[in-house]
Amino acid sequence: MPGEQDRSSIPLPNGWTGHVRSAVLHVISLVQFTLAYTRGWAAGSVNTRIRLKAALERANQEIALLREEVRIKDARMARIDPHRRPHYPPTERLAILEIKAVRGWSLEQTAKTFFVTAATIASWMARVDEDGPDALVQTRTPVNRFPDLVRYIVQRLKVLSPSMGKLKIAETLARAGLHLGATTVGRMLKEKPQPAPPTSGSPAADKQRVVTAKYPGHLWHVDLTTVPVTGFWCPWFPLALPQCWPFAWWLGFVVDHFSRRVMGYAVFRKQPTSDQVRAMLGRAINAAGKAPRHLVCDRGHQFDCDGFRRWCRRKGIHPPRYGAIGKHGSLAVIERLILTVKLLLRFLPVVPLSARSLRREVGLVIEWYNCAPYCHTFLCA
């Protein structure tokens, strides 16, 4: 067959087996780009059937992705010893019983899905009407009035059965003896449900106290960044260039939050290890004469490791405080410094290929930054 002959004669690059997993990710990303482009065209089509078909395909893909996410999470939970699995809080127990009711599951089916025993589900069912703060099963917010009960039922019906409209919900409740108008149901659906109370392991319950820098040397920021020499081209293989010398430099900075002064910096040929970052911080501490009380950094593997935490403990530094995800103010001071350094390095004809030359150029920028710590805001605005 000519087709088989052509396929067999396609040359493969040397060492292709070492990039199998990255190739899989890049192929899936390319397919997703193709699907997004095609569905965007279909969504703007004048043909109603094409638009409906695109919406159906999006819904089917979303369902498939959600099932895969649930499978991964279930596999992780299944690997934990049953006696060491975290307990469901009272509000989640009621939600599990609601899913059991809407799906018509038995005790065994519910227990298998949520990794508990059938006796546990039976115990929840038997104690579902207990009162008090220590009740085994609880609603998200205390329901002390009849309108609160009705509102909770309406909102949960919409969550568990999204296809039910306000008229259908009103008719269903009427059969149960709760007579509501469709407009009342619609008003209840527009109200935002009350958030669940934070549990002992949730970020809201374990939120750390915000540390405010009160004097120089009280709070330091540390972060890493890359400075490309020739550009990274594209973010996918094989057009992407490795983020290391001679294609890019890695820079590390240490900034005092109170004075906005750069306490230290370092240049690396490739992504530094935790030991190299600790050495950079050690030089900054020796230059300052004392260690800071607090350190703020991101969740990079150089900082979020036992070795870095032990090093902080030996230096008399409190456990490192990691920047909150989605909170732009957590590392804003050092991110502003990194933006300033990168903007000023762009004025160079070329980024130096020598570590000594780059260190000298960065040192000039840092010297200007420390002399006028607030002037950079006009440059970066």
The answer to whether residues 291 and 317 touch, using CB atoms and an 8 Å cutoff, is yes
Provide the percentage of residues in the chain whose pLDDT is more than 70. 86
**Phi-psi region at 256: left, alpha or beta (left = phi > 0; alpha = psi -120 to 50):** beta
pLDDT confidence of residue 83: 79
Question: pLDDT band at residue 240, thresholds of 50, 70 and 90?
Answer: low
pLDDT confidence of residue 381: 39
Give the C-alpha separation, 356 to 266, whole Å.
11
Residue bearing tokens 């409190």? 318
b/e burial code for range 352-367 (CB count within 10 A of at least 16 → b): beeeeebeebbeebbe
More confident residue, 40 or 279: 279
Average pLDDT over residues 105-125: 90
Which residues lie across from 215 on neighbouring strands? none
Residue bearing tokens 């094409």? 50
Average pLDDT over residues 152-170: 84
Encode pLDDT of 309-355 as tens digits: 999 999 999 989 887 655 656 788 898 889 888 888 888 877 888 88
Domain ranges of the chain: 23-78, 90-190, 219-380
The SS3 assignment for 28 reads helix
Average pLDDT over residues 276-280: 94
pLDDT confidence of residue 288: 92
132-136, 178-182, 202-206, 254-258: segment of lowest average pLDDT: 202-206
- Using the predicted structure, report yes or no on whether residue 205 has a pLDDT greater than 50: no
Q: If you ran DSSP here, which 8-state letter would residue 191 be given?
A: S
The answer to whether residues 237 and 23 touch, using CB atoms and an 8 Å cutoff, is yes
Q: What share of the chain is helix, strand, coil (3-state, %, to 5)?
A: 50, 10, 40
Give the C-alpha separation, 232 to 219, whole Å.
34
Give the C-alpha separation, 266 to 254, whole Å.
9
- Using the predicted structure, report yes or no on whether residue 197 has a pLDDT greater than 60: no
Q: Report how far apart, in Å, the C-alpha atoms of 110 and of each of 43, 90, 120, 130, 370 are.
A: 39, 16, 10, 21, 62
Give the C-alpha separation, 58 to 348, whole Å.
47
pLDDT confidence of residue 276: 94
Cβ-count burial of 63 within 10 angstroms (0-12 exposed, 13-18 middle, 19+ buried)? Answer: exposed
Give the C-alpha separation, 315 to 290, whole Å.
9
Domain 219-380: what homologous superfamily? Ribonuclease H-like superfamily/Ribonuclease H (3.30.420.10)
pLDDT confidence of residue 246: 80
pLDDT confidence of residue 352: 85
With residue 213 as reference, give the H or E element that holds it: none
Average pLDDT over residues 212-227: 91
Q: Which strands make up the sheet holding 321-322, listed edge to edge?
A: 262-268, 248-256, 219-228, 294-297, 321-322
More confident residue, 356 or 230: 356
Start-to-end CA distance of the chain, whole Å, equals 64
- For 280-337, the DSSP string reads HHHHHHHHHSS--SEEEE-S-TTTSSHHHHHHHHHTTPPPPEEPPTT-TTTTHHHHHH
- Using the predicted structure, report yes or no on whether residue 266 has a pLDDT greater than 50: yes
Task: Name the residue among 252, 258, 254, 262 with its Cα closest to residue 211.
Answer: 258
pLDDT confidence of residue 248: 85
Give the C-alpha separation, 213 to 196, whole Å.
33
Task: Name the residue among 341, 262, 275 with its Cα closest to residue 305.
Answer: 275
Provide the percentage of residues in the chain whose pLDDT is more than 90. 22
Average pLDDT, the chain: 82
pLDDT confidence of residue 195: 59
Give the C-alpha separation, 83 to 115, whole Å.
11
The SS3 assignment for 127 reads coil
Whether the full predicted model's pTM is greater than 0.75, yes or no, is no
- Using the predicted structure, report yes or no on whether residue 371 has a pLDDT greater than 90: no
Give the C-alpha separation, 65 to 63, whole Å.
5
Residue bearing tokens 């999204």? 162
More confident residue, 70 or 177: 70
136-150, 153-167, 299-313: segment of lowest average pLDDT: 136-150
pLDDT confidence of residue 372: 61
The answer to whether residues 229 and 357 touch, using CB atoms and an 8 Å cutoff, is no
348 residue type, one letter:
L
Cβ-count burial of 188 within 10 angstroms (0-12 exposed, 13-18 middle, 19+ buried)? Answer: buried
Encode pLDDT of 164-194 as tens digits: 888 888 888 888 787 888 888 888 888 876 6
